Amino acid sequence: MKTQIYFILGPTASGKSKFALSLADKLNGEIINADSMQIYTELKILTARPTIIDQKKINHHLYGFVKGDIRFNVQRWCEEASKKINFLLDKNKTPILVGGTGLYIESLINGIIAIPSIPENIKIESDKIISKIGKSNFFNLVKELDSEAMKNISPNDIQRIRRIWEVNFFTKKKFTDWKKNKNNNFINLNNYRILLFLPDRNENYNRVDHRTHTMFQEGAIAEVENLLKLKYNNSLPIMKAHGVPEIKSYLNNEVSIEECISKIQQVTRNYVKRQHTWWRSSNLKIFKKFDQFPDKIDIKSINLDLN
């Protein structure tokens, strides 16, 4: 039987990375990052990147390999992830992808539409418009431009809303029309297993709150100070990572340390809520779904259907 590819998915602060380490040890595997913020070099603490000790135990890939001044989109991640998967399969290693960025996983498995790359100045322009008119008005604006593409998209899904506007503005062609093109597939994924963890949301929130305090103890403020010294454009994804805007406000004496921590906890809990919603409505083929945290699961008790 060909080597399986495993996806360990679920919301942030649910313990996926620790579970993946145990699974990799059991299956002669190596771990590939599937989190859109853990790719950036400058953010280690705020993204809870696997420790050096963990990375010595099991080989990890696509963590901290992109400089923050680069806008690394889903297509580029899919291309890199595909290379790593094939590389590991050639070594008879089990690829184990770990993360909570649903769009990454969905695109890798189902492919994405071939759309021209959007220039940085267009992305900056969309950011300016959102800042000027607000997310709600921007949602309505894009809905008027392409109501078909906006069907079933939440007003909070600003990443997809921006994408629709940017494609329309740059190509002068509706995103809906681009969607009629055939998807570009990155890799043949006939032999994969998705393990999805959707534990109790309130307990997940508690873990987020605890993790936030831990990040501050480990040096989150210094990490953001070093990032700000690089003077990256505020429209870049890294500058919007959970914790960066909030700590920046603290450093500018706009909020107290207590308010800063509380705001980070709140935006992260909001993200966890969106992740729960996204994964519950996902059409991906789930091999096993758990309503417990990964650290509550005994890997030996899971029938991975390896035979």
Query: Which segments of 28-119 does DSSP mark as H helices, in order?
Result: 52-57, 74-90, 102-110
Cα 84 from Cα 79, distance rounded (Å)? 9
Single out the residue of 91, 71, 110 nearest to residue 28, CA to CA.
91
Give 255-263 contacts, CB < 8 A, sequence gap 24+. Answer: 261/212, 261/213, 261/216
Q: Position 231: which residue type?
A: K
Cα 145 from Cα 158, distance rounded (Å)? 15
Q: Which residue has the tokens 């990964």?
A: 294
pLDDT of 2: 60
* Residue range 47-99, pLDDT digits in tens: 999 999 999 999 999 999 999 999 888 889 999 999 999 999 999 999 999 99
pLDDT of 186: 83
3-class state of residue 193 by DSSP: strand
Domains of the chain plus CATH, in order, are: 5-112+189-301 (3.40.50.300), 114-181 (1.10.20.140)
> What parts of the chain have a pLDDT lower than 70?
1-2, 303-307
Q: What are the angstrom distances between the C-alpha of 46 and each of 144, 162, 243, 244?
A: 37, 25, 7, 8
pLDDT of 129: 95
Single out the residue of 112, 101, 93, 119 nearest to residue 28, CA to CA.
93
